[in-house]
Amino acid sequence: MQNPLILLTNDDGYDAPGIKALEKVATLFGDVVKIAPDKPQSGMGHAITINSTLRIAKRESRDGFIGYQCTGTPVDCVKIGLDKILDRKPDLIVSGINHGSNASINVIYSGTMSAAVEGKIEGTPAIGFSLLDHSIDADFEAAQEYAKKIIEMALSKLEDKFCLNVNIPKAKSEFIRGIKYCRQAQAKWVEEFDKRQDPSGQDYYWLTGHFEAYDHHQEDTDLWALENGFVSVVPIQYDMTDHQYLDRMKEWSS
């Protein structure tokens, strides 16, 4: 039997510490091909490159590990990986480990998670991993431990074609209380653009804001899990239809 083929990607860029941490875990389970953006692509959501071109650069690390840098978005990396780089369909896509949370509404903006969602769209099971620590020097040890557990379980369920959004609290492993399977909490970012002036007196803006959560006190949400020391695992789908409201639209005329 062939080793599982695992496509590894992220949105923080090819050389981010988080993807190196995930590479170490993924290589325990199969043949890993890393195809990642050549620069940070956080917040790129499900963006794809249609009005310009893509390039790929082959990289080889000192220990002989082969990977590919792509000039595009995380979703581009998955698309071009499946079509042009891999010689067979991967068994699993792993994305991350993201530096920062992709829980709750963050899933919508996340390049890490969009790469995983693209996997599911293409019929390949996928898992996005995120650690609740933005620091470039974040400690990925506990995240690696749980990534290992989850990938091991996932490899026995591949026929389910799942997509998972895994978030890991910023804590030492001994303080993490286990894994919770949960739903996306309701929340939003409240924008507070920071207005500044450039040296020539022209205005420009930085996106900043604060996070406003609505139902994080409910024990079935990912935010509750994370706030209470659990690793949150949310299974993801991409049917954007509001089926409940669709029923109510019969009131609208046609």
Please report, as residue ranges, which positions from 74 to 133 form the binding site for a second copy (by CB under 8 A): 75-76, 79-80, 82-84, 105, 107-109, 114, 117, 121-123
CB of 152 to a second copy, least distance (A): 10
* Subset of residues 221 to 250 that bind a second copy, contact rule: CB under 8 A: 233-246, 248-250
Among 44, 77, 103, 223, binds a second copy (CB under 8 A): 44
CB of 96 to a second copy, least distance (A): 16
- Does residue 8 contact residue 19 with C-beta atoms inside 8 Å? yes
- Which is closer to a second copy, CB of 62 or CB of 88? 88
- Which is closer to a second copy, CB of 28 or CB of 108? 108
Among 3, 15, 66, 157, binds a second copy (CB under 8 A): 157
Among 178, 217, 219, 228, binds a second copy (CB under 8 A): 178
Among 1, 2, 51, 199, binds a second copy (CB under 8 A): 51
Sign of CA dihedral 150, 32, 46, 160: negative
Q: Is 176 in the site for a second copy (CB under 8 A)?
A: no
The residue count for binding a second copy (CB under 8 A) is: 77
Degrees to nearest 5, angle at CA 185 with 8 and 99: 35
11 is written with which tokens? 């949105």
- Which is closer to a second copy, CB of 2 or CB of 254? 254
Among 15, 141, 191, 219, binds a second copy (CB under 8 A): 191
- Which is closer to a second copy, CB of 147 or CB of 163? 163
Among 69, 127, 129, 180, binds a second copy (CB under 8 A): 180
CA atoms of 91 and 132, how far apart (whole Å): 27
CA atoms of 45 and 74, how far apart (whole Å): 9
52 is written with which tokens? 């310009």
Q: Is 1 in the site for a second copy (CB under 8 A)?
A: no
CA atoms of 237 and 235, how far apart (whole Å): 7
Q: How far is CA 2 from CA 6, 32, 47, 124, in A?
A: 12, 13, 33, 17
Sign of CA dihedral 42, 108, 132, 191: positive
Q: Is 175 in the site for a second copy (CB under 8 A)?
A: no
- Which is closer to a second copy, CB of 56 or CB of 171? 56
The Cβ of residue 153 has, within 10 Å, a number of other Cβ atoms equal to 12
If we measure between CA atoms, which residue out of 151, 166, 164 comes closest to residue 236? 164
- Which is closer to a second copy, CB of 23 or CB of 126? 126
- Does residue 126 contact residue 117 with C-beta atoms inside 8 Å? yes
